[in-house]
Each structure stands twice: as structure tokens, then as C-alpha cells.
């Protein structure tokens, strides 16, 4: 990889995810931020939205002002549905790579996309030319794709521990219970429009019990590995903290496998994955160590019943669950160290 910097555009730069993405990329040694785009507050400095960002950067502009011929990467951090036509119109630029942080290209079936997002896909011909990119699972393949689809925060926290165990056939594919809790930033800046209950910033609230949008991509990715449907129940909760995500996953062990064996195999699978840390067996786990980082911490715990174990997975929903993983994917895409510019 040459020493030339990567010219980037960020669309949706002023949302919670967008601002974390700008903050990370503003200190990335191989990045040159050319445009920060949004639909409101045009002409404002990025510090108007987030005083954590110290570097002098381009003022907020409209995406229509971008001169695409010298852009290497477009990051789209927009509400689901908005990047489809943008990408469709820009796919002609040969050097341009698109890294999408919404769900526009996560689901490979337009029928399934409509089921979970209640809208028709506007660029279905591009769905199969994109790659669903949890960084740890696509390190070599990602370089062959133009459209990089970053996964949701819940699916990231769930798949990092489960996919390796499915591949090794160490756990059963039925009766899996996934109990996940997310900081309220996961609902975006329009939180109060989405959640009408009182005390939204000081209470715990379940939502999306039967049809949470992330179920579609979890189903899809499990099927890719196992070639059959996995039976799981998923309950997401919004909790009164700004960032952080904790998934508690209850699984049954296959063929009397021991927790020590499962723990060893998980360590072995992730030994070269810089951002995944497997803790000692029965180690209590929270989000305190992963906040403001791109790390995922995983703990395996014994339960009362010997045929079951509890897997706990912690990430920062805005970083490993969004902006950080997007930058990790960019690093892989351009042959850089995957942890460059990340912590």
C-alpha cells in the first residue's frame, strides 16, 4: 500500500454514529477527510455538533457538492433506505468504495429486506455485489467488493461468539435465548419520537420483541454457516446509559462437550483477531472496558444445568457496533493494519 492518503466523504456526519466516525477518522494517519455531509446546519463546523473533535475539518456541506473523481471511500451513516439511490448513482466511479453503516445492503434478499424494513429496495441489483462485513470474518474476502455493508450492533455482539462455535459444531442450534441491552444512542437522535414511554432516559425498556430489524441479518448469517435455520429468541432492551451493549446468550452444549473445550476453541478461533478478547471462564463482564473502544469482550460461564452455558458479549454499540468496525473494514479493504487509527 502506497503512502498516499485515502480521500473520504462522510454522509450523515452529524448523527451519533456519524460523529463517532468523524472523531475516529480525524486522527487516522492514512485518511484525508474531504467532505462532511448532512442535510441540515450546512456551513457549520463539526465542533458545533461535537466538541470532542479537535482537528480542523471541512464545514458541513450537501452531498451534491462532492467532486467524486478523486474520492476513494464514501461512508454512509444515514437512515436505512437513504443510501440505496446514492450508491446506485455513484457505482460508476471505478476507484470509489462504499462503506455503508445502515442496513441498506445487509440483507441479500429484497423480499427479506421488505419484510423487516417495510419498504422496497431501490437498488436490488446491487445487493449481491455487496459483502456483509463483520471484520473478523471477512479479512481476505473484503478486498474483492466495492460495497461494504457494516452489520448492526446487536448482530455484531451476537455473532462474534456464536459463529465460531457453530462452525465447530460445539453448541446446539435450538433453544438459544439472546438477551441484549443497548445504550439509548442506538436509537439515534430521534429517540423520543421512536420511544413514547415516560422516563426514557432513566428506565429500562424492551422493544422489537417479535420483529426487531436485526433478526433478519442474524438469521441470514447463521444460515450461511450452517445451511439451516437456527432457532433463537431475541429480546433487545434500551437501558439508561448513552453507549455500550451487553448480550447474554444462553445455549445448549453439543454431545456433552465441556465448557473448557468450548473456551479453548473460542480462544483459538479469535487468537489473531486483535479486537476480540476472550476472558477466563466464569469471569463477570460488563461494558466498562469496551466503552469508547473497538474491542469486544466475551465471557463463558457455567450455569445450574450442566448441558447449558451462558455466553456474555460486550461492545460499544457506536464503535465496534458501528463507526469503529467501519474503519476496521476500511483498513482491511486498503491493506492496512486492521487496528490503525483505532483503540
Residues 6+ apart with CB under 8 A from 131: 138, 141, 142, 144, 145, 147, 148, 149
CA dihedral 225, 228, 232, 235 (to 10 degrees): 60
Is 150 designated active site? no
Q: With contact defined as beta carbons under 8 Å apart, do 203 and 241 qualify?
A: no
Report the alpha-carbon distance of residue 282 to residue 309 in Å, rounded: 10
- Sheet-wide strand order for 97-100: 60-61, 31-37, 6-11, 73-76, 97-100, 147-149, 130-132
CA dihedral 76, 79, 82, 83 (to 10 degrees): 20
Query: Quick one: which H or E segment has residue 166?
Result: helix 153-167
**Nearest CA-CA partner of 176 in 214, 219, 208, 225:** 219
- Could you say which of 37, 153, 296, 301 is catalytic? 153
Q: How far is CA 213 from CA 210, 324, 334, in A?
A: 9, 21, 30
Q: With contact defined as beta carbons under 8 Å apart, do 103 and 80 qualify?
A: yes
How far is CA 145 from its chain centroid?
A: 18
Active site residues per annotation: 153
Amino acid at each position: 500500500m502506497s503512502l498516499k492518503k485515502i480521500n473520504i466523504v462522510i454522509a450523515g456526519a452529524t448523527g451519533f454514529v456519524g460523529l463517532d466516525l468523524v472523531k475516529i477518522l480525524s486522527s487516522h494517519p492514512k485518511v484525508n477527510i474531504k467532505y462532511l455531509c448532512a442535510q441540515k446546519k450546512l456551513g457549520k463546523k463539526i465542533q458545533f455538533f461535537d466538541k470532542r473533535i479537535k482537528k480542523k475539518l471541512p464545514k458541513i456541506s450537501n452531498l451534491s457538492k462532492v467532486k467524486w473523481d478523486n474520492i476513494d471511500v464514501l461512508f454512509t451513516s444515514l437512515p436505512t433506505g437513504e443510501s440505496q439511490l446514492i450508491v446506485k448513482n455513484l457505482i460508476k466511479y471505478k476507484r470509489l468504495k462504499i462503506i455503508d453503516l445502515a442496513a441498506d445492503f445487509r440483507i441479500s434478499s429484497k423480499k427479506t429486506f421488505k419484510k423487516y424494513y417495510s419498504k422496497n429496495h431501490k437498488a436490488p441489483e446491487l445487493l449481491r455485489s455487496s459483502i456483509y462485513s463483520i471484520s473478523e470474518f471477512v479479512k481476505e474476502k473484503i478486498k474483492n467488493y466495492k460495497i461494504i455493508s457494516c452489520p448492526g450492533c446487536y448482530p455484531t455482539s451476537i455473532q462474534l461468539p456464536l459463529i465460531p462455535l457453530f462452525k465447530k459444531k460445539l453448541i446446539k442450534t435450538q433453544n438459544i435465548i439472546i438477551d441484549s441491552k443497548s445504550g439509548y444512542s442506538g436509537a439515534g437522535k430521534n429517540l423520543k419520537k421512536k420511544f413514547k414511554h415516560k422516563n426514557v432516559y432513566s428506565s429500562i425498556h424492551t422493544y422489537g420483541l417479535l420483529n426487531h430489524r436485526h433478526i433478519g441479518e442474524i438469521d441470514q448469517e447463521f444460515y450461511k454457516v450452517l445451511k439451516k435455520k437456527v432457532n433463537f429468541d431475541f429480546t433487545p432492551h434500551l437501558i439508561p446509559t448513552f453507549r455500550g451493549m451487553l448480550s447474554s446468550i444462553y445455549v445448549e452444549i453439543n454431545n456433552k462437550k465441556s465448557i473448557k473445550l468450548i473456551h479453548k476453541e473460542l480462544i483459538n478461533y479469535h487468537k489473531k483477531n486483535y479486537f476480540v478478547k476472550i476472558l477466563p471462564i466464569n469471569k463477570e463482564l460488563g461494558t466498562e472496558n469496551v466503552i469508547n473502544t473497538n474491542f469486544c469482550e466475551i465471557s463463558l460461564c457455567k450455569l445450574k444445568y450442566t448441558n447449558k452455558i451462558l455466553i456474555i458479549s460486550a461492545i460499544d454499540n457506536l464503535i465496534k457496533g458501528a463507526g469503529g468496525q467501519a474503519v476496521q473494514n476500511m483498513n482491511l479493504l486498503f491493506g492496512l493494519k486492521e487496528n490503525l487509527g483505532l483503540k
